[in-house]
Amino acid sequence: MATSQILDIMREFLKNNPTLNARDAQRHAIEMVKLSMEAERMMSFDYSHLDAIDVTPVNNKKIVKKEFIEKQYTKEDLKIDPSTAINEEYIECCLCEKNNKNKYQSLTSTHLKSKHSISKEQYLNLCGYDKKTRLMSHKNSTATDDRIKTAQEARSTHSE
């Protein structure tokens, strides 16, 4: 949002609330800009994979549960060969088009659900991976193993 738009919002706040000082009007205008940007971001999100939204009150607060409709993919839908998708430096999503933006340190469940409406388990099965396969580069997997080993050693040393 441009500075002139923020100033226009501030002027409206001051015009409609004559007792409001300029600093409070500025604070309100900035909050309006943040809300506007968040609304734009939410409107651009692809909600087509949502089946239903269950709003269940918990302790007087509403909790929104989103249920995803998982798409049914076949081997023909794979754009990248799963046997080459995981390598030393990066992992590529087999459902994305092959390009430099498709190279990740780890492939997250969030990516799979938001971009492809598929669960990690379905993706592993589709690609023919073992269910315990880590969706990350070999380098990242080794580093994760090293961090786990270090943490376990620190715990055992600390508890003795």
58 lies in a domain?
Answer: no
Backbone torsions φ then ψ of 138, nearest 5 degrees? -60, -40
With tokens 């469940």, the residue in question is: 109
pTM of the predicted model, to two decimals? 0.55
88 with 22, same domain? no
Rounded-to-integer distance, Cα 151 and Cα 155, Å:
6
With tokens 């409609």, the residue in question is: 16
91 with 37, same domain? no
- Structurally, the chain folds into a number of domains equal to 2
**Segment of 6-15, 52-61, 69-78, 84-93 carrying the highest mean pLDDT:** 84-93
At 8-67, the pLDDT tens digits run 777 777 788 878 787 887 787 778 777 777 777 776 666 555 555 555 555 555 555 555
Cβ atoms of residues 14 and 29 within 8 Å: no
User: Which tokens sit at 106?
Assistant: 């780890």
Domain interval for residue 149: 75-159
At 121-153, the pLDDT tens digits run 999 999 999 999 999 999 999 998 898 888 888
Rounded-to-integer distance, Cα 47 and Cα 117, Å:
10
Rounded-to-integer distance, Cα 141 and Cα 129, Å:
15
79 with 154, same domain? yes
84 lies in a domain?
Answer: yes
63 lies in a domain?
Answer: no
Bridge partners (DSSP) listed for residue 136: 106
